[in-house]
Structure 1
């Protein structure tokens, strides 16, 4: 596992002091990295091992560049964040960890650092992978906040098809896994080779290796495209739209027939429980909160006549209740929601993520539970 890097020692404090939506920590350079690039043939095993020891390479190529960058940043954080957020893209873009850290610091009287570990397309298989990575590090957070979106209770097909088969998963989760339709002898053999052979492990890490050859550390922030970037506290930034545009996007989504109704799968309930139990077994307090769609999209779904909101609440409880995880429901965004607060019909933009972080701290009992976890 990579050691914690001196270059980001001050990141947590800078995040706490930063109150501007979308503002980056001073260390963030937002490089453009080429992922899924073939490894050049003139690289040696010794070089890979040396660059890994110097923290010039990630643990291993992951199932996505943003996830890999986020885990690089989490592994590099020194000291470790006090709070880590789990979830999918709605949470990744919907909770500004700098703002939440500042609010928690004000409430507790101590510096509290927050890291957003949610990621695009993640259900609880991917989040369990993140939990396993976290417990492999030298230091653990005191509190884990599990963000539950409308579709969070679905099975994690993205994990079984891609995440579990990445070299990153091989290094973090090992290869001794129960045989299934998604994990067979060929998967186990590939996993074992990932672990044993550094050159094979980085077979698709050519872009990262080029950076290492140039003496650049593994990226902890990332430029996605113009106006879109991933900060070194895990927060994903995309530009916002007007409330009217968000409504138009919602209307189009409804017309296309994939509006986003909740579904509960047993696999998701089990995966959520495994992640929560793993973290709690290492002394981490686990809490959950809901993150809703935009008010205009929720209104469209409710008007569809399929008891959307009741089903959304029930799906969140289906994840948390069997595992005794305290859930903080969120019926809808506050009166703050409007122009430029959302990226589209379902994701927030930085201005909205700042406001939603504040809304979370105003839920009765939320601050008390987080503060109790920080004190343990």
Structure 2
């Protein structure tokens, strides 16, 4: 990791108290029918195979959910994937994991270029995931929560045969309620712990996080998945936080009450998801740890990346079948094998 090429280190932590996430996004959407009114304050772009590239990073939990959804739905042939490296400066995610140190399709070296191609002097954060229009190299949207929904709904015509419905109509209200709660108190809750600037702000965030982690442990002691009898977007939204918890959030973000490995229901739930194609095989623990421990210099100024913990338990047998249900509904098939060039670069022995 060459810090010399960084202009300045990112500043993520709060300067004076509680961490507040910037929730300003480009709320454009890519839709099957641009003439149909949609819930969006932004521009509507037409679904078109090959026109768009999903810019993501293995390290980022918000991007990870879009990578999983794309894979489960089989959209690899119509939406390509560009991967930034795990570390970056305050300016931008950098495409430095390829030998040429640029994205091989767009030629972008820094994601900021795509934002400024459309919005010169773009004033907000340069975030992943982002969808970029191939050819113009302009950012289309970075609305991380809407992208998986639109992959499921708007790209249905181009999904693989046997693709799941990750957002079933009859479960949408419950999925939305659960994911709102998980986002506020767990997905973002770990950040509120890690980036708190005062003891009081940290204490409040810590207790709030663990109130909801205990709620998840109890809920998953009664049912196999968060909502319904099969994997939905609710599970895809929780997984990136859970899989990062023991190697990163437990120590780096001071969320250190209990490890996922020590919570029977969350442990089994995470084991099952990790072992499903699309989840574990899109998870790069090396890049995850490099991102948090190197990029967050205000939390870990030495930049030393831990070698542990032992995560072999993720590949062990679980007992989630005791609840009935199944990962996918009748007629749904597993996604295709990971395509060449999209494998994680640093697989653990238990991932091979």
Q: TM-score, normalised by structure 1?
A: 0.30
* Higher RCO (CA < 8 A, seq sep 6+): 1
Q: TM-score, normalised by structure 2?
A: 0.32
Higher share of residues assigned helix: 1
